[in-house]
């Protein structure tokens, strides 16, 4: 299916300065994030909406990748294995394809700037978890946004795997304050998957009552085995 001449022209202009593009299929709108603002373009489909959206994505693919194939299987494989550099990853965010955004979020070459664009394109729990697992993203400007989203979204997770991964990421990112960590710990007391998330994060995140140690574990020895024995003999180590 061909796009209308008006939509073709406007889409070309929109893609010229876009850093990222997303498509709202319900309202038939294309949104583009530029360096200074967001632009919104209402499509005027000439035919079946689904086929027209496919034509829109093919057009965007030609502009971004030089091929009308949209987000083909071989591109998915390359990005999942980290075979695309940062410049090429940035092009995938201009396709209006959700799967392309997920691939960017999963790429080991993801940086904080790309993470901000990917989050604008597709702010979902899956994307947040993938990106928060990158230390440079967790420690960047995007990290706190992702952490807060996952914390707020946690009560709505419906699978144990998602809950475990979310709790582990929230703890290991070290982006939660004491009050937020307390809320998470209270939830873990009544929710097995949350407790497994704490265990997955490691013994240092478990809360244990303060007690007088049975023996003195203080030592000036920095040997790894000495440190491991001290940690195992601690209250947190015993609880773990």
Q: What is the DSSP string of 152-168?
A: HHGGG--SHHHHHHHHH
**pLDDT of the chain along its 240 residues, tens only?**
789 999 999 999 999 999 999 999 999 999 999 999 999 999 999 889 999 999 999 999 999 888 776 656 446 555 555 556 778 889 999 999 999 999 899 988 999 999 999 999 999 999 999 999 999 999 999 999 999 999 999 999 999 999 999 999 999 999 999 999 999 999 998 899 999 999 998 877 776 555 545 545 555 555 665 665 565 555 555 554
Cα-based distances in Å from 118 to 21, 97, 214: 10, 11, 51
* Residue 114, domain member (yes or no): no
**Which three-class secondary structure state does DSSP give residue 92?**
helix
Q: Do both 3 and 92 map to the same domain?
A: yes
Q: Do both 182 and 238 map to the same domain?
A: no
The confidence score (pLDDT) of residue 215 equals: 47
Q: Do both 102 and 9 map to the same domain?
A: yes
Domain encompassing residue 5 = 1-108
What pTM was computed for the model?
A: 0.81
Q: Do both 83 and 136 map to the same domain?
A: no
Q: Do both 103 and 2 map to the same domain?
A: yes
- In degrees, rounded to 5, the angle at the alpha carbon of residue 185 between the alpha carbons of residues 143 and 170 is 15
What are φ and ψ of residue 100, in 5° steps? -65, -40
Scanning the structure block, which residue is given the tokens 């990748």?
A: 65
How many domains does the structure of the chain reveal?
Answer: 3
Q: Do both 229 and 138 map to the same domain?
A: no
Q: Do both 138 and 157 map to the same domain?
A: yes
Q: Do both 25 and 102 map to the same domain?
A: yes
Strands of the sheet with 29-33, listed across from one edge = 20-24, 29-33, 38-42
The confidence score (pLDDT) of residue 233 equals: 54
Cα-atom radius of gyration of the chain, to the nearest Å? 23
* Residue 118, domain member (yes or no): no
The confidence score (pLDDT) of residue 81 equals: 54
The confidence score (pLDDT) of residue 5 equals: 94
Q: Do both 100 and 1 map to the same domain?
A: yes
- H or E segment to which residue 63 belongs: helix 49-65
Q: What is the DSSP string of 174-224?
A: T---HHHHHHHHHHHHH-HHHHHHHHHH-GGGS-------SS----S---H
Look at strands 20-24 and 38-42 and give their pairing: unpaired
* Residue 113, domain member (yes or no): no
The confidence score (pLDDT) of residue 57 equals: 93
Cα-based distances in Å from 145 to 149, 150, 170, 185, 223: 6, 9, 12, 21, 38
Q: Do both 82 and 154 map to the same domain?
A: no
Q: Do both 236 and 155 map to the same domain?
A: no
- In degrees, rounded to 5, the angle at the alpha carbon of residue 148 between the alpha carbons of residues 143 and 152 is 150
Q: Are 88 and 103 in contact (CB under 8 A)?
A: no
Work out the burial of residue 219: count CB atoms within 10 Å of its CB; fewer than 13 is exposed, 13-18 middle, 19 or more buried: exposed
């Amino acid at each position: 299916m061909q796009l209308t001449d008006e939509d073709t022209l406007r889409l070309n202009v929109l893609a010229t300065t876009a850093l990222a593009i997303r498509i709202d299929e319900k309202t038939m709108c294309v949104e583009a994030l530029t360096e200074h603002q967001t632009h919104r373009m209402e499509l005027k489909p000439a035919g079946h909406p689904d086929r027209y959206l496919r034509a829109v994505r093919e057009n965007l693919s030609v502009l971004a990748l030089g091929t009308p194939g949209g987000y083909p299987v071989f591109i998915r494989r390359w990005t999942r294995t980290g075979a695309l550099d940062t410049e090429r990853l940035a092009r995938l965010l201009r396709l209006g394809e959700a799967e392309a955004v997920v691939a960017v979020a999963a790429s080991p070459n993801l940086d904080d700037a790309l993470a901000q664009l990917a989050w604008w394109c597709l702010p979902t729990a899956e994307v947040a978890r993938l990106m928060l697992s990158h230390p440079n993203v967790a420690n960047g400007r995007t990290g706190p946004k992702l952490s807060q989203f996952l914390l707020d979204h946690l009560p709505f997770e419906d699978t144990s795997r998602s809950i475990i991964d979310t709790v582990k990421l929230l703890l290991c990112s070290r982006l939660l304050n004491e009050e937020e960590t307390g809320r998470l710990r209270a939830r873990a007391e009544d929710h097995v998957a949350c407790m497994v998330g704490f265990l997955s994060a490691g013994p240092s995140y478990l809360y244990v009552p303060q007690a007088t140690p049975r023996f003195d574990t203080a030592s000036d020895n920095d040997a790894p085995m000495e440190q491991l024995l001290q940690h195992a003999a601690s209250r947190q180590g015993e609880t773990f």
